[in-house]
Structure 1
Amino acid sequence: MSIVNPSQAREAFYQLLKDVNKTTEPVYISGKNEAVMISKKDWYAIQETLYIQSYGVAGVIHQREQANEFVAVEDIDWDTL
């Protein structure tokens, strides 16, 4: 993860924006007011992960992986996960 201070981030903002989208590596902006810059694609992936974890879906997926259970997507009862 790249680390820059706010002044550096301001000077190189457009390049940092391009970089986080190209490499999917976040940029940590360190200073009095700290932040992390990530791509929109990565933000949505994080949100999706948090959503499935909040409903216990991640645990069900992990259990099925451990049991080597294969279930076709069209056979999943999404309401009971």
Structure 2
Amino acid sequence: MKTTYTISEAEKNFSDITKDVNSEEKPVTIKSPEGTDYDVVIISKKHWDAMQETLHLAKNGVIDQIKEREKDGKFIDFDKAWNAE
């Protein structure tokens, strides 16, 4: 899978790029014309949502709480807790 396109290449191949980004689960960079700083990255909605959730958790201190619980021994592995009978 190609990971970098010029704007004109991206315009011609946009449908294929969106399919690849989702199936390969890798981002694609669209390079701006030489001398400008307008590059963009295309990621899947799934990855966008995951990043937004991580940012939300970090912003609200949840990640810090998890790290503290891991340190003080009060952390419960989610998979073990979920699968406990």
> Which TM-score band applies after superposition, normalised by the shorter structure?
0.7 to 0.9
The correspondence of residues 1-80 of structure 1 with structure 2, limited to 5 A, is 2-32=3-33, 33-71=38-76
When residues 16 and 60 of structure 1 are mapped into structure 2, their CA distance, relative to the original with a 3 A threshold, is same
Which has more radius of gyration? 2
SS in 2 for 1:17: helix
Shift of 1:7: 0.8
Distance in 2 of aligned mates of 1:51 and 1:31:
30
Distance in 2 of aligned mates of 1:19 and 1:27:
9
Q: Structure 2: where are the runs of 5+ without partners? A: 79-85
Query: Alpha carbon RMSD of aligned pairs, Å?
Result: 2.1
When residues 20 and 68 of structure 1 are mapped into structure 2, their CA distance, relative to the original with a 3 A threshold, is farther
SS in 2 for 1:29: strand
Distance in 2 of aligned mates of 1:30 and 1:72:
42
Shift of 1:71: 4.1
Q: Structure 1: where are the runs of 5+ without partners? A: 74-81
Name 1:77's counterpart in structure 2: none
Shift of 1:67: 3.7
Identity %: 37
Shift of 1:70: 3.0
Shift of 1:3: 1.2
Aligned residues: 73
Contact conserved, 2:66 with 2:75, CA < 8 A, in 1? no
